[in-house]
Amino acid sequence: MEWIQQLVNGISLGSIYALIALGYTMVYGIIKLINFAHGDVFMLGAFIGFYAIARWEIGFFPALIIAMALCAIIGVVIERVAYKRLRNATRIAALITAIGVSLLIENVVIYFRGASPEAYPEVLPETSINILGVNISSISILILAVTIVLMILLQFIVHKTKIGKAMRAVSLDPDAARLMGINVDNTISATFAIGSALAGAAGVIFGVYYTRIEPLMGVLPGLKAFIAAVFGGIGSIPGAMVGGLSLGVVETVVSALGFSLWRDAAAFVILILILILKPSGIFGKNTREKV
Amino acid sequence: MKKSKAFWVFSVLALVIYAVVQGLISVGILDLYYQNILVQMCINIMLAVSLHIIIGITGQFSIGHAGFMAVGAYFSAIATMKLGLPLPVGLLIGAGVAALAGLLVGIPTLRLKGDYLAIATLGFAEIIRIIFLNVDYVGGAAGMVITNMTTWTYAFVSVVITILVIANFTNSRHGRAAISIREDEIASDAMGINTTYYKVVAFAIGSLFAGLAGGIFAHNFFIIQPTTFGFLKSFDILIYVVLGGLGSLSGAAIAAIFLTIVSSYLAEYPETRMIIYSLVLIIVMLYRPSGLMGTKEITSLFKFGKKGGSQK
Amino acid sequence: MTGNLLINVENVGIQFGGLKAVQNVNMFLNQGELVGLIGPNGAGKTTTFNMLTGVYQPTFGTITFDGKNLKGLKPYQVTKLGMSRTFQNIRLFKDLSVLDNVKVANHNIAKHSIISSIFRLPSHFSGEAKMEQESIEFLKIFGLDVYKDELAKNLPYGMQRRLEIARALAAKPQLLLLDEPAAGMNPQETHDLMELIAFIRKEFNLTILLIEHDMHLVMGICERIYVLDHGQLIADGTPEEIRNNPKVIEAYLGEEVVD
């Protein structure tokens, strides 16, 4: 029974990774950029949610929506100001810019409010529900419910709406999409908006679940979510979901086995194994360089 | 013969710099505070130049350089503190083990390209750091206490060796082979260059000197801790190379010198330092992605003044 | 002029995913021959080159070069055996000087080790001097020696094409593969290039396989021609035979037959 408990914890953690990973994978799919600042958008989402709940005293769901909306705007601003000029730059220049944006966000936040952590207010009474002898906390259920709703929403947007179709077209071939009359710039911005909103939601959920947030909290989950995206096959939305959940479960199991200090290494070992054995990930496609 | 002239100019310059600094130290103008900045400058130049051979010359995008610095730091410290060996031997051991680590990391990862390679090197560097974090023999998270043994002389000699070796490598058929990989790996392969071999060699040489820098670093302070060698450190080193100009050894060294001075002035305000760093990084990438020097060397600014102008 | 069998390609094919890009290609070149490989766009000409040079591993068939099976060899190993190439979309080392571009291809004529270069041992200096001298010789043949210190990317287009051939030649091939060497050149440049190819062929005792879109050039200088269409060989023979082959004419319908 304890194992099922751990599995639930793993899925909760994995949901957070999955939500962040979706943003990585969508952005990479569309402009081939590892958006290192994505983890920091997640951090900003956590702080926006915190101020909304603790200072303005609005409930969890309004706070979640505000965080998602503001993160969407932040994501678009980052894309327009920093990344847009880089469309034709080298991959190295793009990656370094992304690292620069990440460092900038972190340090601007530290500059204005200090590096001290913040304790997230309680949004749900600390109860747990007993399902078949397993105690599942109400927060875990909340996290799962929110994640599932967001993922269904995302699937709907990507597959059933016009903007979703445009996103898929641009990720396949931006030039052809442009010739077909798709506004590529707006589509890329929409992708950033959706990805950043999901990261913002993940930030609020993280705060509620782990109750402690700080300005550098986005770095490690950001990297791990990226690993999850690579694991699932970068560019693939189902891949990001599966990758995120798997990584969460693996980390929880490694901790439960008594190797909690090695937990962070587990993610990186997975990363290296997947990169060496199957760089295209579980759901990814093989690509071949044209000679 | 041009190249051996550059060699002599460099050697004389190095001797002059050393003599002047040593003179200033002995008459007491440069106190311990400034000596420490000079040592840090040397460490940062070594790190920058050792990453330059990997990224700038061979074009392999590694963002885990701090991992090899950590290996050099810890193994040199084990040699001196645990085994009681003299510092030069410790430095050699640290650099050697770092080169070995470079081989171990490089052989599987260097067939990856671009972003994937970057992430893999970052992953390896984190694994290296987490290993040190979990080994009680080297103090785990609390770190390892080390006697301060580094002097300005050790640091300076190490820098000179680093620059000479990497410059000599670059200005040879081996260096050209490495640069051809950066320029076009497929064409390089088609011209008979064993690209895997040269990528691994450049990676190992880079790791070796990162390890040497780590050894100097470890013995310049009283303690080393795994947190020092996280990816923020790797990014710091990356910034030197990128700002200096991908492909320019002198550019990387100048950026390292300049940023060491800036950060020692801003030591009290780490956030301000990082905000400036990151803004500069973004602005340089957006408006001058080739960095300060591009692939040019400072020596080329002095000779062929006419040609230099037309090669834009 | 022609001699022994140099390269023999038997039933070679390659599959990408489910798609057979090239199949059942049989061809051979005798020493000293100049052979053309033509076909409409997307016929698989460059893919065939990539299989010969080790960039792609063929899924089927065997390639024997100078008596050795090329299976599993990497491009640099194939080059060392004596086969080198140019690329359809010029792949020069753009930020290296013209001289250094050739020196890279000259890599294997010198033997000094990394240690020797790092410590500047005598073998480094003698090796580098030899490379410098030979590379300049190649540049002279192509009239590029005046540009030797220019960056490759600053050369005019036609000169870049020439430099690619010079570089390929510096790798000391017995068999030279030229992938559309005249692409984008004007008639005068094309004419000069044809003369140059004839000259280096004699001078270096080369065997040459040439992909070309310019029919005029192919018909003018090649002794034999292979025609690829949709990944399969549809004809081979002398220029005269190819010109009158109905299959070839059909394959080229809609394309310009003669320039």
A187-220 pLDDT tens trace: 999 999 999 999 999 999 999 888 889 999 998 8
CB contact under 8 A, C75 and B189: yes
Interface test with C, best of B189, B191, B194, B199 (most C CBs within 10 A): B191
d(CA A290, nearest CA chain C) in Å: 10
Average pLDDT over residues A221-236: 88
Q: Residue A276: inside a domain, yes or no?
A: no
Burial A61-71 (b: 16+ CB within 10 A, else e): eebbbbbbebb
Interface of B with C in 187-226 (CB under 8 A): 187-195, 201
CB contact under 8 A, B278 and A261: no
Find the helix or strand (DSSP H, E) in which C23 lies: strand C19-30
pLDDT value, residue C126 = 94
CB contact under 8 A, C55 and A291: yes
Q: Residue B177: inside a domain, yes or no?
A: yes
CB contact under 8 A, B238 and A107: no
The answer to whether C80 and C213 are in contact (CB under 8 A) is no
d(CA C176, nearest CA chain B) in Å: 12
C46 has a chain A CB within 8 A of its CB: yes
Q: And the tokens for C217? A: 């050039």
Chain C residues touching A284 at Cβ < 8 A: none
Measure the CA–CA gap between B238 and B55, rounded to whole angstroms.
9
Residue C176 three-state SS: strand
Q: Which residue has the higher pLDDT, A276 or B219?
A: B219
Average pLDDT over residues B6-30: 85
Residue B4 pLDDT grade (very low, low, confident, very high; cuts 50, 70, 90)? low
User: What is the domain count for chain B?
Assistant: 1
Q: Residue A181: inside a domain, yes or no?
A: yes
Residue C259 has pLDDT above 50, yes or no: no
C162 has a chain B CB within 8 A of its CB: no
Write down the mean pLDDT value for chain A: 87
pLDDT value, residue B306 = 37
User: What is the domain count for chain A?
Assistant: 1
CB contact under 8 A, A91 and B115: yes
pLDDT (tens digit per residue) in B84-131: 999 999 999 999 999 999 999 999 888 888 888 888 899 999 999 999
Q: Residue B307: inside a domain, yes or no?
A: no
Q: Which residue has the higher pLDDT, B290 or A47?
A: A47
The angle subtended at Cα B183 by Cα B181 and Cα B188, nearest 5°, is 45
CB contact under 8 A, A97 and B282: yes
Residue A290 pLDDT grade (very low, low, confident, very high; cuts 50, 70, 90)? low
Q: Residue B26: inside a domain, yes or no?
A: no
Residue B30 pLDDT grade (very low, low, confident, very high; cuts 50, 70, 90)? confident
User: Can you tell me which residue has the tokens 């210190």?
Assistant: C149
Chain A residues touching C50 at Cβ < 8 A: 291
Q: Residue A202: inside a domain, yes or no?
A: yes
Q: Residue B50: inside a domain, yes or no?
A: yes
Residue C247 has pLDDT above 90, yes or no: no
CB contact under 8 A, A275 and B122: no
Chain C residues touching A288 at Cβ < 8 A: 16
pLDDT (tens digit per residue) in B137-184: 998 889 999 989 888 999 999 999 999 999 999 999 999 999 999 999
Residues β-bridged to residue C235: C227
Using CA of residue B248, residue B252, residue B257, residue B263, what is the dihedral sign?
Answer: positive
Nearest CA in chain A to B238: A96
Residue B172 is part of which domain span?
Answer: 38-230
What share of chain B has pLDDT > 90, as a percent?
A: 60
Q: Tally A–C CB contacts below 8 A.
A: 5
Nearest CA in chain A to C48: A291
CA distance to A221, C153, C160, C164, per residue, from C157 (Å):
49, 9, 5, 11
Residues 6+ apart with CB under 8 A from A145: none
Q: Residue B289: inside a domain, yes or no?
A: no
pLDDT value, residue C111 = 92
pLDDT value, residue A174 = 83
Q: Residue B127: inside a domain, yes or no?
A: yes
Q: Residue A125: inside a domain, yes or no?
A: yes
Average pLDDT over residues C202-230: 88
Of B112, B122, B282, the CB nearest to A101: B282
A285 has a chain C CB within 8 A of its CB: no
Q: And the tokens for B227? A: 């947190």
pLDDT value, residue C20 = 85
Of C91, C110, C171, the CB nearest to B186: C91
pLDDT value, residue A260 = 78
pLDDT value, residue B301 = 63
B230 has a chain A CB within 8 A of its CB: no
Q: Residue B72: inside a domain, yes or no?
A: yes
d(CA A81, nearest CA chain B) in Å: 10
Q: Residue B218: inside a domain, yes or no?
A: yes
pLDDT (tens digit per residue) in A28-80: 888 888 898 999 999 999 999 999 998 888 888 999 999 999 999 999 999 99
d(CA B56, nearest CA chain A) in Å: 11
C211 has a chain B CB within 8 A of its CB: no
Closest Cα partner for A153 from B57, C99, A145, A138?
Answer: A145
- Give this complex's ipTM: 0.91
Average pLDDT over residues C134-149: 93
Q: Which residue has the higher pLDDT, A71 or A176?
A: A71
Q: Which residue has the higher pLDDT, A6 or B65?
A: B65
pLDDT (tens digit per residue) in B7-18: 788 888 888 998
Q: Residue B130's domain is classified under what CATH number?
A: 1.10.3470.10
A289 has a chain C CB within 8 A of its CB: no
The answer to whether B70 and B81 are in contact (CB under 8 A) is no
Residue C63 has pLDDT above 60, yes or no: yes
Residue B225 pLDDT grade (very low, low, confident, very high; cuts 50, 70, 90)? very high
What share of chain C has pLDDT > 90, as a percent?
A: 70
CB contact under 8 A, A104 and B118: no
Average pLDDT over residues B307-312: 35
C53 has a chain B CB within 8 A of its CB: yes
pLDDT (tens digit per residue) in A102-129: 999 999 999 998 889 988 888 777 777 7
pLDDT value, residue C204 = 92
Using CA of residue B5, residue B49, residue B108, residue B74, what is the dihedral sign?
Answer: positive
pLDDT value, residue C85 = 95
Domains of chain C: 1-82+173-259 (3.40.50.300), 91-171 (no CATH)
pLDDT (tens digit per residue) in A88-104: 788 788 888 999 999 99
Q: Residue A172: inside a domain, yes or no?
A: yes
Q: And the tokens for A155? A: 């699937």
Q: Residue A124: inside a domain, yes or no?
A: yes
Residue A262 pLDDT grade (very low, low, confident, very high; cuts 50, 70, 90)? confident
Measure the CA–CA gap between A237 and A282, rounded to whole angstroms.
11
CB neighbour class for B34 (10 Å; exposed up to 12, middle 13-18, buried from 19)? middle
pLDDT value, residue B124 = 93
Residue A127 is part of which domain span?
Answer: 11-218
pLDDT value, residue B3 = 55
pLDDT value, residue C177 = 95
Neighbours of chain A (3+ CB pairs under 8 A): B, C
CB contact under 8 A, B286 and A86: yes
Interface test with A, best of B52, B62, B115, B277 (most A CBs within 10 A): B115
C-alpha C226 chain-centroid distance: 15
C91 has a chain B CB within 8 A of its CB: yes
Residue B311 has pLDDT above 50, yes or no: no
Residue B305 has pLDDT above 60, yes or no: no
Average pLDDT over residues B220-242: 91
> In one letter, which amino acid is B94?
G
